[in-house]
Amino acid sequence: MSASGNPFLAAIESRISCYSLTKTSPIPDSRLQEIVNTVIQHTPSPFNVQSARAVVLLHDNHDAFWDTADARVKESVPEAVYQALSQRIAGFKAAYGSVLFFEDQGALEELGSKNASVQHMLAEGSHHSSGMHQFAVWTALELEGLGCNLQHYNFLPSIVDAVKEKWNLPSTWALHAQLVFGAPDEAAGGLVRKRERTYLPLEERVRVLGA
């Protein structure tokens, strides 16, 4: 199937995980903020609860996040695991910035308390909505010439606690993901797939009934 003729589908098709990133950006920080603002404002959420929160970490703040992640991982996992993760973390730190995606549990609880009939859907809906936000920012940044990869260093509660303390974030914000971004390292191949992605047969994954 070709995405030709539809720029949205073409952007979905070309998006990749890019790990060789540099400390430069092809767009100004103001444009980065505009993109994140647009995604946060317009991406859907369950019952329009608008529980997504984003923190864009640039420059020293980006470095500080990944330094914190490294320190907390070091004190929490066996040395061999740390050695492997530390190398990866150094790669993330070498990028230009990170977008941290949160979901405000306070907003979700408030909606649930006002409308008990929707309460059971909110936890899953919050995850779905966060994923939509992550995908939208990822794809939008790539369209601007940035490379991105998606990380989940919220697996360690001590990292989440440190982040909230350092940047004085509300205790109700639950960290879901980190999107690392930067200009792709052209010497390492730029925004090109390193490994050919394999695809399961679409006939097994999509059923159209009644066409």
Ligand X SMILES: Cc1cc2nc3c(=O)[nH]c(=O)nc-3n(C[C@H](O)[C@H](O)[C@H](O)COP(=O)(O)O)c2cc1C
Binding site for ligand X (CB under 6 A): 16-17, 149-152, 197
* Count of helices and strands (H, E) across the chain: 8, 4
Is the Cβ of residue 17 or residue 172 nearer to ligand X in the bound state?
Answer: 17
C-alpha 165 chain-centroid distance: 21
Distance CA 48, CA 42 (A): 10
**Of 92, 106, 112, nearest in space to 22 by CA:** 92
Distance CA 91, CA 89 (A): 5
Distance CA 191, CA 143 (A): 11
**Of 21, 20, 32, nearest in space to 58 by CA:** 32
Is the Cβ of residue 29 or residue 84 nearer to ligand X in the bound state?
Answer: 84
Whether 98 contacts 179, CB under 8 Å = yes
**Of 49, 133, 144, 48, nearest in space to 99 by CA:** 133
Is the Cβ of residue 111 or residue 130 nearer to ligand X in the bound state?
Answer: 130
Is the Cβ of residue 86 or residue 151 nearer to ligand X in the bound state?
Answer: 151
Is the Cβ of residue 31 or residue 127 nearer to ligand X in the bound state?
Answer: 127
Plot region of 208 (φ>0 → left; ψ -120 to 50 → alpha; else → beta): beta
Is the Cβ of residue 119 or residue 151 nearer to ligand X in the bound state?
Answer: 151
